[in-house]
Amino acid sequence: MSYKGNWSKRGEWLELTPGKVLLSQPDREQAAAKWLLETFGMPEKLYRKLRHEQGIQWRGDRLRLVLFPYRDYGIEPRWQELHVLHEDEFCLVVNKPAGMAVHPDQESEETTLNHVVAAYYEAEGIHTAVRHIHRLDKDTTGPVLYAKNEYAQLKLDEAMREKKIVRIYAAIVQGRVGQELKVIDLPIGKDRYHSSRRRVSLTGQAAITHILSSEVYPRASLLNISLETGRTHQIRVHLSHMGHPLLGDSLYGGPALFSRQALHGERLLFHHPLTGERLEVQAPWPQDMMELRELIIEGS
């Protein structure tokens, strides 16, 4: 569902103009509830919360919702330069650099992308929790999507579950990948002998990787890949299992021709959580990946 009418953000309120049909109903509160749940597509969990907190109001012909309440970031702001690829009142997409995790773990005090996004919000006067919708491996570059309010988070999380958010990757792998390799459908589980590794396992979770296109050179191949599922290390595990580990991916047997795994998120495609507009966000290749591509081409 999506909203095609006029809307505006006024402080913590989202103001909508649902139209004369709704205004003409004898019980506008009941009509608003039905419209929000069935036409507007508000998650029932959020509707009940807003109703309990008196966050749904009429003002003349406008229906007002508290979708932008003041919220703590939930993480310490730490300033670093941030490459913003897309931003509006509901979504933020940033280009994650290599060597930076998306979120902290209990064993490290390193600055993560979430720390940096919190600092960006602070600098821009945005008071909302830092909510990433998906992740990338620490050494993978590319776009990461953030929800700027709870409504957007619920809608985008639902889109992730329904596989409506598409991520396209560029991977440079060892060897010549045959044109016949289009889909890798192999379950992935933990490696009992190595806590950081995953492996193809019959008892693992379903995992499907699509190879959309390939450029094949004598010693390496450049692949464009999309994921139908989002398992940990999925691309790395699948390609290594097929005999084509990513260059630089020492964890999965890749040749040490690169300082990290040669994997970059090129494009992110999703529908805007409010308007339903189809958005395509592109992330430029990092310099090291461009240099590696030239190296494998020259090496041919």
Burial class (CB in 10 A: 0-12, 13-18, 19+), 30: exposed
The 10s digit of each residue's pLDDT in 87-107 is 999 999 999 999 999 999 877
pLDDT at 208 over 70: yes
Of 117, 105, 104, 126, nearest to 146 by C-alpha is: 117
Q: What is the mean pLDDT of the chain?
A: 94
Question: What mean pLDDT is predicted for residues 211-221?
Answer: 95
Contact 234, 134 (CB under 8 A): no
Of 227, 170, 117, nearest to 238 by C-alpha is: 227
Position 268 scores a pLDDT of 98
Instruction: Please report the sign of the dihedral spanned by the C-alpha atoms of residue 226, residue 130, residue 285, residue 278.
Output: positive
Active-site entry in 72, 137, 249, 288:
137
Question: What mean pLDDT is predicted for residues 182-202?
Answer: 94
Q: Is 139 a catalytic residue?
A: no
Cα–Cα distance for residue pair 276/272, rounded to 1 Å:
5
pLDDT category of residue 300 using cuts at 50, 70 and 90: low
Q: How many CA atoms lie within 13 A of 79 on its CB side?
A: 3
The 10s digit of each residue's pLDDT in 257-291 is 899 999 999 999 999 999 999 999 999 999 999 99
Position 51 scores a pLDDT of 94
pLDDT category of residue 1 using cuts at 50, 70 and 90: low
Judged by DSSP in three states, 214 sits in: strand
Tokens 């040490």 sit on residue: 256
Q: What angle do CA 275, 121, 111 make, to 5 degrees?
A: 120
The 10s digit of each residue's pLDDT in 33-59 is 999 998 888 999 999 999 999 999 998
